[in-house]
Structure 1
Amino acid sequence: HVAHNSGNNEWYTPAEYIEAARVVMGGITLDPASSELANTKVRADYIYTADDDGLSEPWFGKVWLNPPYAAGLVDKFTSKLADEYVSGEVEEAIVLVNNATETGWFASLVSVASAVCFPSQRVRFWSPSGEPGAPLQGQAVVYIGRNAGKFVDCFSELGWCAWVA
């Protein structure tokens, strides 16, 4: 499925995942792959839209990332996040991606992670018109930061969670 993710990238995260992320991180500083509509739910202090090209902007603070899943984009967004975390610009982050465990970008993302959650159901993203989508595959929620225990506590209500060794 991952190789065929080249359609519409405008799918937004259900509120329960964003609320759990907000609890874990104590707020969301930046959503680097957002829109004004998506931010009505995310409520990040700063957002980058497709017009801003978040890949060319600095990332900082506490990041929520639901990257565009299209082939060629998801790997760039997750790589940028890993780099910004290692550099110290990003304090912590929660990333919602397809559970593409067989891909290089997923392995690279998890290599800087401290916990992961596999939701017990496929995430029903919502479209700009407010309609729920029909998910094609399962997702993973990846936590990068020093608060893995709180992440596991908060996200265990949504699926199976574990610390990353």
Structure 2
Amino acid sequence: MLNDEWLTPPEIVRACGEFDLDPCAPVVRPWDTARRHFTVEDDGLTQPWAGRVWCNPPFGREAIKWLRRMVKHGNGIALIPARTETVMFYETVWGAADAVLFIQGRPHFHYVDGRRAAANSGAPICLVAYGLHNVAALAESKLGIVIPIINKYKDAS
């Protein structure tokens, strides 16, 4: 059976500080990622977001919807694949975020029962900061290399 719901390793979330909201949290979770959680049952994209947001969106084509919402919200950290050449990355990271942290190594995500997956993520992972407070949190996390986005990419059209 294919699993498409993965938990962020708790040490990554802890290293980034406390969050007010996780709008795309799993229904079943052995640890909290924020003070408040929206699951697929709540449809976190349509709910009001408040405070500092932790966002580990579903990977794949739907991720851009979550990142666009993070851009509009402007206060939080998103965990995404480090696919720096994609349209999604140019629109929601290079064109809108304040910094990106490239995680050292490939983390092992967890199943919803808390068990650590035997295999790593299979791709490089990054954390994206929206808001200067979140840039500082990434710098203090010591999870990898932080690149501030000074000259944000602008679409020439």
TM-score scaled to structure 2, two decimals?
Answer: 0.83
**Structure 2 gap segments, 5+ residues each:** 151-157
Distance 2:9 2:125 in 1: 13
Q: Which deviates more, 122-131 or 11-20?
A: 122-131
- What is residue 40 of structure 2 aligned with on the other side? 50
Contact 1:32 1:54 in 2 (8 A): yes
Contact 1:21 1:64 in 2 (8 A): no
1:136 aligns with 2:125: no
- What is residue 88 of structure 1 aligned with on the other side? none
Task: Name the CA shift for 1:96/1:39 in 2 (closer, same or farther; >3 Å).
Answer: farther
Q: How big is each residue's C-alpha offset from its partner over 1:119-159, in whole Å with a ceiling of 9 and x where there is no partner? A: 1111211011333232120111111102255234323x211
- What is residue 21 of structure 2 aligned with on the other side? 30
- What is residue 70 of structure 1 aligned with on the other side? 60
- What is residue 17 of structure 1 aligned with on the other side? 12
Say which SS state the counterpart of residue 142 (structure 1) adopts: strand
Say which SS state the counterpart of residue 11 (structure 1) adopts: coil
- What is residue 72 of structure 2 aligned with on the other side? 83
- What is residue 51 of structure 2 aligned with on the other side? 61
Say which SS state the counterpart of residue 94 (structure 1) adopts: strand
Q: Which amino acid aligns with 1:59?
A: W
User: How many residue pairs are counted as aligned between the two chains?
Assistant: 146
Q: Measure how far apart 1:8 and its partner are.
A: 3.4
**Structure 1 gap segments, 5+ residues each:** 1-6, 86-91
Q: How big is each residue's C-alpha offset from its partner over 1:5-53, in whole Å with a ceiling of 9 and x where there is no partner? A: xx6331001112111221xxxx2111000035437231x1211101111
Say which SS state the counterpart of residue 60 (structure 1) adopts: coil
- What is residue 147 of structure 2 aligned with on the other side? 162
Task: Name the CA shift for 1:148/1:49 in 2 (closer, same or farther; >3 Å).
Answer: closer
- Structure 1 or 2: more helix by fraction: 1
Say which SS state the counterpart of residue 147 (structure 1) adopts: helix
Q: Which amino acid aligns with 1:38?
A: R
Q: Percent identity?
A: 30
Q: Which amino acid aligns with 2:26?
A: S
TM-score scaled to structure 1, two decimals?
Answer: 0.80
Task: Name the CA shift for 1:161/1:48 in 2 (closer, same or farther; >3 Å).
Answer: same
1:113 aligns with 2:113: no
Distance 2:13 2:137 in 1: 12
Distance 1:46 1:28 in 2: 8
